[in-house]
Chain A
Amino acid sequence: MGTKRPAGSTRSPRPVSAPVPTEIRPVRRGDLDAVIAIDARVTGIEKRAYWRGIHRRYADADAPGRQFLVAAAGPAVVGFVIGEVRDWEFGSPPCGWVFAIDVHPEARQSGIGTMLLAAIARGFRRAGVTKIRTLLSRDNSLILSFFRSQGMMAGPFIPLEMDIE
């Protein structure tokens, strides 16, 4: 997640920041344009092919450990979260990875991110795991602060990388 402006036009319904009841539910095929628009608004890059692949992998999945949830305020999709239970990767016992969470900038500060994270955590517990994990840029203070505010702390793993030529 970031703070950049959109790269292109959006085709999503206008997000609602007024106190419209927000529902957290599994993504539907018709939600994908709104999800793509939120991501484009936040990252500045529209990744339509990528999101179609994610939708196929997670929304159509029959695996209980895979989740793609959206926050819907009335007819508008204002946020989403995606995650998956992964077993024994990096030597870790099964845990729930949150690899994308986003709330439309105009719908933030109203608890939607908290609702999304709580919902996916419930799904992970139903799938039998008791640990939730994520990874994000250390420059992303805003979202780091969000996860910290939810009680997340630094885990026992250290990401490493190098340039290869």
Chain B
Amino acid sequence: MKLQKNSRLALYSILEFAAASGRPVAAAEIADKYGVSPHHLAKVLAELARAGVVESIRGVGGGYRFAGNARRLTLFDIIRQFEDLSPTAAERREPGERTQAGRAIATVLSEIDEIAHATFKSITIATMLQLIERQDAPAPGPRR
């Protein structure tokens, strides 16, 4: 499965903010770390702020701060801001969808969607931070 670029940026940002334990993180720091355009990232952060999961801190030393509950906020809550997750595959308009083969394919795709959704809904930001700690790669957080 592949996530939209905006979803990945949102997840990177949220994980960085949540790992920072209340310290504001500059958007430029995230843009630099993940090699993305600051302009593009700003749009994603604005969307996250509108959703109430991050807040902007102005002034010297400002940036963005995590404003959600890491033990309750799930991956699904984040990526649904950017992905077409609401309709299942069976409800989307596709060529040939009303044929027998089209309906059978839609049934299989719905099964895949339901499993994917259940996975995203079951993984919280806190769980992701634990998963990151278990990876070999350095965990998100301030650069040293």
| Contacting residues, chain B, for A134 (C-beta < 8 A) | none
| CB < 8 Å A-B pair total | 30
Whether B74 and A145, one on each chain, are in contact in the complex, defined by CB atoms closer than 8 angstroms, is yes
Whether B122 and A145, one on each chain, are in contact in the complex, defined by CB atoms closer than 8 angstroms, is yes
Interface residue A107 (Cβ < 8 Å from any Cβ of B): no
Nearest CB of B to A91, in Å: 21
Whether A149 and B74, one on each chain, are in contact in the complex, defined by CB atoms closer than 8 angstroms, is no
Interface residue B4 (Cβ < 8 Å from any Cβ of A): no
- The DSSP consensus for interface residues of chain A is helix
Interface residues on A, range: 10 to 19
Whether A138 and B123, one on each chain, are in contact in the complex, defined by CB atoms closer than 8 angstroms, is no
| Contacting residues, chain A, for B121 (C-beta < 8 A) | 141, 144-145
Whether A138 and B115, one on each chain, are in contact in the complex, defined by CB atoms closer than 8 angstroms, is yes
Whether B118 and A149, one on each chain, are in contact in the complex, defined by CB atoms closer than 8 angstroms, is no
Q: Using a CB–CB distance below 8 Å, which chain A residues touch chain B?
A: 138-139, 141, 144-145, 147-149, 151, 154
Whether A144 and B127, one on each chain, are in contact in the complex, defined by CB atoms closer than 8 angstroms, is no
Q: Looking at the complex, which one of B114, B115, B130, B134 makes contact with A149 (CB distance below 8 Å)?
A: B130
Interface residue B126 (Cβ < 8 Å from any Cβ of A): yes
Nearest CB of B to A138, in Å: 4
Instruction: Tell me the bound Cα distance from A144 to B134 in angstroms.
Output: 19
Q: Which residues in window 78-122 of B have CB below 8 A to A?
A: 114-115, 118-119, 121-122
- What are 15 A-B pairs with beta-carbon distances under 8 A? A141-B74, A141-B121, A141-B122, A145-B74, A145-B121, A145-B122, A145-B123, A145-B127, A148-B122, A148-B123, A148-B127, A149-B124, A149-B127, A149-B130, A151-B134
Instruction: Tell me the bound Cα distance from A148 to B127 in angstroms.
Output: 7
Inter-chain pairs besides A144-B118, A144-B122, A145-B123, 4 sampled, C-beta below 8 Å = A141-B121, A145-B122, A145-B124, A149-B127
